[in-house]
Amino acid sequence: MTAVSLLRWMWRDYLRPHIPILAIALALMSVEGGTQGALSYLIQPMFDRITVGGRTSDVIWVAMAVSGVFLLRALSGFSQRVLMAMTGERFVAAMQTDVLAHLMRLDQSFHQTQSPGALIERVRGDTATLRMLWGTVLAAVGRDVVALLSLLGVALSVDWRWTLIAVAGAPLLVWPISRLQKVVRRTSRAARETASRISTRLDEIFHGMATIQLTGTEVREGGRFRTEVHNYVRAQIRAEAGSAGIPALMDIVAAIGFAGVLTYGGMQILHGEKTMGEFMSFFTAIALLFEPLRRLGSVSGAWQVARASLERIRSLFDAVPRIVTPAAPEPLPTSMRIEIDAVTFGYGREPVLHGLSFTAEAGKTTALVGPSGAGKSTVFALLSRLADPQGGGIRIGGRDLRRLELAGLRNLFSVVSQDTALFDETIRDNILMGRANVPEARLAEVLDAAHIGEFVKGLPQGLDTPAGPRGSGLSGGQRQRVAIARALLRDAPILLLDEATSALDAQSETYVQEALGKLQKGRTTLVIAHRLATVRDADKIVVLDHGRVVDQGTHDELIARSGVYADLYRLQFRTEPAASDPPA
């Protein structure tokens, strides 16, 4: 992506709303930059009229003028820095918010190939790099360009020959600076990518801390992290060295220029052709001139660093979600009958479903059973359009899912998964999930049905106790009950239960099964279960194996057919066969 297109995108989406504040800040920067030239201009009367000429009458006005210049510089510099900091923080915050919002719209296929740590680095690390862009690039445009022009004007007013000698070596910088810019952009991009790997490594370490401690792999993980940090430091040093090389080259040119001016100008002063005040005014202007020139040189390095981050951020926005609401969505169905018709699907090159077909009747419970890897959880992902079939179709109430409004479709489902996702908020927030104005009576009913009140009473802040990161403040059974309460409150017409009671003890499971039994009445329910005893009473049991339906029917029908289901059932209960089961 070209620099121009990146700047156009940044201006259109993020800078344009801040034009009034930016205009004021740039005006203040111009004032601050202009004070540099004013200060160097006042050096001449300070020397010629006061120090050399001895004109005491000029002391007061020169002193007042110099003081006024410093005061004006202080006020303009302070004001523009505050305005730029405020605008810069808002700019970065807006970009971070937009990046996260876009990431939340992308499909599961994208997130399955991107680690959370790498995405966190994109949202936080890459956008934070742009803060430097504000303080360097815009300050150079508003302050340093004006300072450079004003100081150059003072120097030219004293002697154009001296000025030419001072800056004669500047053209020699074009080629080495262009080379350094490429080095800075390349190494900065490498540093950002390494920073992403560091964030990924930390994310995996912190989420797997218990496993690391139990397996005694602290040294191994520490070594892997140390390697990534070493790679980052090496890339970052190269980027910083490239950035520092640009102003260093300017200092070399400045040294050559100063030597020439001192030699040529000094001879003119000795011969009486120039005054000491003129020389000091020129010397001050040139000395001050090279400082904004160095900062302007640093802009190219800062831009290359920021450009590497901008390109990484922009690449995220270029990732387009494939699962979206159609241009003209059909109305949501009134019947919750689910039809899965010849569905094929795979993750990458690995096929999971092979022409899968079955129906789940409205208002009834359909159980999906089978060995691990049979495709049961994939069915749930396809139903809620976390993924789309690669062949065949899925219909609810006769309507193809891909023709429905996405948010409306997902509102048809309440999901309780074996991997309960809780957030580092209060238990109340984890149940409500943003729902406002829920009557306390309704909330109390849900808590009672999910048997949450029993353990909440013993917590220090009751329902307002933080659940901890990823729900770590609760036991597995407590987390599962919170998820069930969330589903109960959602009250959607279709229930998807993926091992919903897997983390509960026997007593809690009895209570929750009773609550779920009440909830299932009148609703279309699909249940994934490895423990076959929990689905004996399902209206239909669909047996999957290697992505295909190998049998379906009621529990008694499947047992009587002595197929895959009967084998699984007898394997689980071979020590305690049920009285109604046929002998093995």
**What is the CATH classification number for the domain harbouring 355?**
3.40.50.300
Among residues 318, 335, 354, which one ends one of the domains? Answer: 318
Same-domain status, 306 and 334: no
Kindly state whether residue 376 falls inside one of the protein's structural domains.
Answer: yes
List, run by run, the mean pLDDT of 10-residue segments along the chain (584 residues): 80 85 86 80 66 60 78 86 83 88 85 81 82 70 78 79 73 70 76 80 79 81 87 82 72 72 71 71 74 70 77 86 89 92 85 90 90 84 90 93 92 83 86 86 84 80 84 79 85 85 69 72 85 84 89 90 84 55 42
- pLDDT at position 37 is 77
Using alpha carbons, list the distances in angstroms from residue 283 to 154, 156, 265, 386, 405.
10, 12, 10, 69, 71
Same-domain status, 306 and 367: no
Domain count, the chain: 2
Same-domain status, 370 and 331: yes
Same-domain status, 215 and 358: no
Kindly state whether residue 112 falls inside one of the protein's structural domains.
Answer: yes
Kindly state whether residue 508 falls inside one of the protein's structural domains.
Answer: no
Same-domain status, 39 and 151: yes
State phi, psi for 426 to the nearest 5 degrees. Answer: -70, 160
Kindly state whether residue 438 falls inside one of the protein's structural domains.
Answer: no
Range of the domain at 369: 326-412+523-584
Same-domain status, 401 and 550: yes
Same-domain status, 298 and 339: no
In this structure, the number of other CB atoms found within 10 A of the CB of residue 584 comes to 12
Kindly state whether residue 28 falls inside one of the protein's structural domains.
Answer: yes
Q: Could you identify the residue written with the tokens 């007013």?
A: 157
Kindly state whether residue 265 falls inside one of the protein's structural domains.
Answer: yes
Listed in sequence order, the residues at least 6 apart from 389 whose beta carbon sits closer than 8 Å to its beta carbon are 343, 344, 345, 353, 382
Same-domain status, 311 and 358: no
- pLDDT at position 576 is 45
CATH number, domain at 25?
Answer: 1.20.1560.10
Buried b (16+ CB within 10 A) or exposed e, 62-82: beeeeeebeeebeebbebbbe
Kindly state whether residue 468 falls inside one of the protein's structural domains.
Answer: no
Kindly state whether residue 516 falls inside one of the protein's structural domains.
Answer: no
Among residues 318, 340, 370, which one ends one of the domains? Answer: 318
Same-domain status, 242 and 372: no
State phi, psi for 396 to the nearest 5 degrees. Answer: -125, 125
Same-domain status, 126 and 246: yes
Buried b (16+ CB within 10 A) or exposed e, 491-514: ebbbbbbbbbbbbbeeebbebbee
